[in-house]
């Protein structure tokens, strides 16, 4: 006779959040990715505070020195200098602040629109759902990056405009996800009970359905940040993003492409910054997805 070891009482009694947290803590790669995201956030916050206080750290990212132009990494300029003698390390820190600001705020805008639209479509269904989903399908027919590029070209390149445009264009995936969650959850027993006692739709949406759909929405938000960062970097590289002398990773690479054979550090270090940042967010989102995935509860 084959016997199985019973699950510990503490694990069996733990709620979904506790089980998800335990699975996430067991994912070493996910924990490392979270640590990297926190480190990048701390560096960006430090730069933002010092910039507002008027303290250049470690150097003024926009200060030029033609006598030290295109210097390789050294003890003074850790990551070298560009064609105008500006410190690449200071400009990378400035770019981290810009990129993370664009990433987080743009995702917040797209999340707000996507959750609102998806919740309305999924909860009310019928013709409301059909109308909203046809609009979503029409928007998704256009290539996202070229739609963003066109919009930025029309309204003008600036940090505010880039954030708004990315947020207004990239909400469709979130809307479809939230709609699917609402279509499932609106038939749950607790939602039927809430309707039976006379609760209104808005209260049911925000008090009963939305909290139970929070996990996939959180994963979508985390995975949306690197997409926004890559979009901003691409726009800046093409000259439609944040304008010089404000430094971003995209325009640092754009300035350095002319000197790619003589000043490799102008391409390598901002490219590594984009790679590490986006990869950290993607790994964090993937770890969160695996931790909250409902199928793993049945294993």
Partners of 25 in the beta sheet? none
The whole-number average pLDDT for the span 56-75 is: 88
Range name among 16-25, 75-84, 222-231 with the lowest pLDDT average: 16-25
pLDDT at 256 over 50: yes
Q: What is the pLDDT of residues 159-205, one digit of tens each?
A: 888 898 999 888 999 999 999 988 888 878 877 887 788 777 777 88
pLDDT at 7 over 50: no
pLDDT value, residue 224: 92
Q: Is 29 helix (H, G, I), strand (E, B) or coil?
A: helix
pLDDT at 94 over 60: yes
Q: How confident is the model at residue 299 (pLDDT cuts 50, 70, 90)?
A: very low
* Average pLDDT score, the chain: 85
The whole-number average pLDDT for the span 146-158 is: 84
pLDDT value, residue 16: 67
pLDDT at 6 over 70: no
- Give percent helix, percent strand, percent coil of the chain, each to the nearest 5: 75, 0, 25
> How much of the chain exceeds pLDDT 90, in percent?
33
Closest CA to 136 of 89, 85, 178, 172: 172
pLDDT value, residue 208: 80
- Peptide bond preceding 58: is omega within 30 degrees of 0, i.e. cis? yes
Cα–chain-centroid distance for residue 163?
Answer: 12
- The architecture in CATH of the region 17-57+76-298 reads Orthogonal Bundle (1.10)
Q: Pick the more confident residue, 298 or 130.
A: 130
The whole-number average pLDDT for the span 240-250 is: 86
pLDDT value, residue 15: 64
pLDDT value, residue 199: 76
pLDDT value, residue 290: 86
Give the HSE-up count for residue 237: Cα atoms under 13 Å, Cβ half-sphere.
17
Q: Is 289 helix (H, G, I), strand (E, B) or coil?
A: helix
pLDDT at 13 over 50: no
The most distant pair of C-alpha atoms in the chain lies apart, rounded to whole Å, by 82
Q: What is the pLDDT of residues 266-297, one digit of tens each?
A: 999 999 999 999 999 999 999 888 888 754 44
Contacts of 200 (CB under 8 A, 6+ apart): none
pLDDT value, residue 294: 52
Q: Locate 209 and state its tokens.
A: 């359905």
pLDDT at 155 over 90: no
Range name among 17-21, 67-71, 168-172 with the lowest pLDDT average: 17-21
- Give 79-135 as a DSSP string: T-B-TT--BHHHHHHHHHHHHHHHHHHHHHHHHHHHHHHHHHHHHH-HHHHHHHHHH
């Amino acid at each position: 006779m084959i016997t199985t070891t019973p699950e510990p009482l503490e694990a069996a009694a733990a709620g979904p959040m506790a089980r998800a947290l335990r699975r996430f803590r067991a994912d070493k790669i996910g924990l490392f990715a979270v640590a990297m995201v926190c480190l990048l956030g701390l560096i960006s916050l430090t730069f933002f505070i010092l910039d507002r206080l008027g303290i250049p750290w470690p150097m003024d990212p926009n200060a030029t020195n033609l006598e030290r132009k295109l210097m390789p990494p050294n003890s003074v300029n850790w990551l070298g200098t560009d064609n105008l003698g500006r410190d690449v390390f200071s400009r990378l820190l400035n770019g981290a602040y810009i990129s993370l600001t664009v990433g987080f705020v743009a995702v917040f805008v797209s999340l707000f629109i996507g959750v609102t639209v998806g919740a309305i479509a999924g909860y009310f269904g019928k013709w409301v759902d059909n109308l909203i989903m046809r609009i979503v399908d029409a928007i998704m027919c256009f290539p996202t990056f070229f739609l963003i590029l066109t919009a930025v070209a029309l309204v003008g390149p600036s940090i505010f405009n880039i954030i708004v445009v990315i947020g207004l264009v990239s909400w469709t995936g979130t809307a479809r996800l939230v709609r699917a969650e609402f279509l499932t959850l609106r038939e749950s027993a607790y939602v039927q009970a809430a309707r039976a006692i006379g609760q209104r739709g808005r209260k049911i949406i925000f008090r009963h359905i939305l909290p139970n759909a929070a996990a996939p929405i959180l994963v979508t938000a985390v995975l949306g940040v690197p997409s926004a960062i890559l979009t901003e970097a691409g726009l800046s590289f093409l000259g439609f993003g944040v304008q010089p002398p404000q430094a971003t990773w995209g325009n640092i690479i754009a300035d350095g492409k002319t000197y790619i054979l003589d000043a490799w550090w102008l391409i390598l270090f901002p490219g590594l910054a984009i790679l590490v940042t986006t990869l950290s967010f993607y790994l964090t989102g993937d770890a969160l997805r695996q931790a909250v995935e409902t199928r793993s509860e049945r294993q």
